Amino acid sequence: MEKKPGYHHGDLRAALLKAAAEEIERNGYETLSLRELATSLDVSRAAPYRHFPDKRALLATLATEGFEQLIAMYRAASLGNKSAEARLKDAGIGYLELATKRPQLFRLMFASDLLGGNEPPDPKLAETAFQSYQLFESMVADALGHPDIRAVKAATIAGMSATYGFALLSMGGRLRPFMIGDLTQSQLVEAVLSLRPAKIPNA
């Protein structure tokens, strides 16, 4: 007799998150299906809904885990006897490495509507993303070396914009050979991470 899918799969929540993380890297987060995940894990189609009320909730959990990884990278970059500039550069490298290794997770974190759409964001996701931003901003402040909050915020946004744009251009194949010339990847990253914002004029 053919075995029917059931509800029990050990730690189904963890299995769903692992399967979903793999699936979005193959096909993007837009087409993810809880029912198809259930089928791939040989559980009933209703089983995933005991852990996640809908696909958005599962994706929010994946994005939260992504920001937790980013926070861990930023904290690791802060360790050791390095200058504030070197710590900030290492944080930028970690950010770009996440985009390179997990491009669809990166898109989910920074390009989806989970944090910027019409629906209220998942509270845990919003808090974790905020902590990630705060940590990065504090590293920018340390690197600037002065207490001007306007300059810190401008530099933070400038740095985020440069690395985010570079990541999207890279993963989208938009950096064509004629644009890159004989620059190496490390030279491109160095150029992106060395950008500085213009001086902020007085209001």
Average pLDDT over residues 68-96: 94
Nearest by Cα to 104 from 58, 143, 66, 159: 66
Check if CATH label 3.90.1150.10 holds for domain 60-193: no
Domains 1-52 and 60-193 share a fold: no
CB 152 within 8 A of CB 141: yes
For residue 196, the model assigns a pLDDT of: 66
For residue 9, the model assigns a pLDDT of: 53
For residue 179, the model assigns a pLDDT of: 95
For residue 201, the model assigns a pLDDT of: 60
3 state SS of 144? helix
The structural architecture, per CATH, of the domain 1-52 is Orthogonal Bundle (1.10)
